[in-house]
Amino acid sequence: MYLPRQLGPLHDLPDTAHAYDDVLADVVEQALARLTPEGNLEHPDCVDDIGDTSLGITSLLALAWQRSKDPRLPEAVGRSLAFHLRERVYTDDNPGYPNLKVRDSGLPYARYTLAAGAHPIGDWPSTVWALLQAVDVLDLTDGLVEDGQRAELVAVAHGYWRWLTEATFFNPQEAGNQAIGCVVGGLMLARHLPPGQGAAVRARAIALYADKIRAHRVADRGALLPPEHGGAYDNNYGPISLSFLAQAHLVSGEEIFAEDGDALARYIDARLTGGGFDNGGPRYSEQHSGFESVLGLRYFSARIGSDLGRYRGDTRWGRHAVKADGGVDGHFAWMLVWQIQDTTRWHRSPSPAPVRHQLRAGTVSVAFDSHMTPSLVEAAGTYYLPAAVNRQHGFGPVTDGFLYCRPMGEVRVRDLGADGLTAKLVTKPVVGRDHVLRHVRSLYVTDGTRLWVTVAVERLPGTPYLLAGLPYAADDGDRVRRVSQGQVTSAGELRLTHPESEGVDHFDARAERTQEEAAFALAADPRGYGNPDEGWRHLVSSTALEAGPAPGAPQDLHVFAVRYGPAGPFAPTFRHDGTGLTVRTEAFTAVIGEASGDAHGEPELALTAP
Q: What is the 3-state secondary structure (H, E, C) of 421-432?
A: EEEEEEEEEEEC
DSSP 470-522: EEEEEEETTEEEE-S---EEESS-EEEE--SS-STTEE-TTSS--HHHHHHHH
Q: Which amino acid is at 217?
A: R
pLDDT at 156: 98
pLDDT for 579 beyond 90: no
- The DSSP element (H or E) to which 196 belongs, if any, is helix 195-208
3-class state of residue 98 by DSSP: coil
Average pLDDT of the chain, as a whole number: 96
Of 88-92, 222-226, 523-527, 583-587, the one with minimum mean pLDDT is 523-527
H or E segment to which residue 383 belongs: strand 382-385
Beta carbons within 8 Å of 576's beta carbon, 6+ residues apart = 554, 556, 557, 582
> What is the spatial distance between Cα 309 and Cα 328, in angstroms, rounded to a whole number?
24
Residue 581's pLDDT is 96
Q: 600 falls in which pLDDT band (50, 70, 90)? A: confident
Q: What are the phi and psi torsion angles at 361 (to 5°)?
A: -160, 130
* Average of per-residue pLDDT across 381-387: 98
Query: pLDDT digits over 97-150, tens only?
Result: 999 999 999 999 999 999 999 999 999 999 999 999 999 999 999 999 999 999
pLDDT recorded at residue 301: 98
* Helix, strand, or coil (residue 71): coil
For the chain, state the CA radius of gyration: 27
The secondary structure of 515-583 as a DSSP string is: HHHHHHHHSSS-TTTS-HHHHHTT--EE-EEEEPPPTT--TTEEEEEEEESS------EEEEETTEEEE
Residue 360 β-bridge partners: 365
Map residue 468 onto helix, strand or coil.
coil
Distance between CA atoms of 323 and 44, rounded to whole angstroms? 9
All residues at 6 or more sequence positions from 381 whose CB lies less than 8 Å from its CB, including other chains = 275, 363, 474, 475
Categorize the per-residue pLDDT at 317 as very low, low, confident or very high, splitting at 50, 70 and 90. Answer: very high
Q: Which residues of 99-129 are buried (b: 16+ CB within 10 A; e: fewer)?
A: ebeeeebebbbbbbbbeeeebbbbbbbbbbb
How much of the chain, in percent, has pLDDT values that exceed 90? 96
Would you state the pLDDT for residue 150?
97
| pLDDT of the residue at 595 | 67
How far apart CA 233 and CA 227 sit, in angstroms, is 7
Centroid of chain to Cα 122: 22
Question: Distance (Å, rounded) from C-alpha 519 to C-alpha 532?
Answer: 5
State the Cα–Cα distance between residues 239 and 220, nearest whole angstrom: 15
Does this model's pTM top 0.95?
Answer: yes
CB 411 within 8 A of CB 428: yes
Segment among 188-197, 448-457, 525-534 with least mean pLDDT = 525-534
Is 192 a residue whose pLDDT tops 70? yes
The H-or-E segment that residue 294 falls in is: helix 291-304
| First-to-last C-alpha distance (Å) of the chain | 41
Q: How far apart are CA 127 and CA 134, in angstroms?
A: 10
Q: Which of 175, 9, 6 is nearest to 515 (CA)?
A: 6
Using the 8-state DSSP alphabet, how is residue 391 labeled? Answer: T
Specify the pLDDT at position 529.
86
Strand 541-542 with 451-458, pairing: unpaired
- Separation of alpha carbons 156 and 580, rounded Å: 70
C-alpha span between 249 and 556 (Å, rounded): 56
446, 361 contact by CB (below 8 A): yes
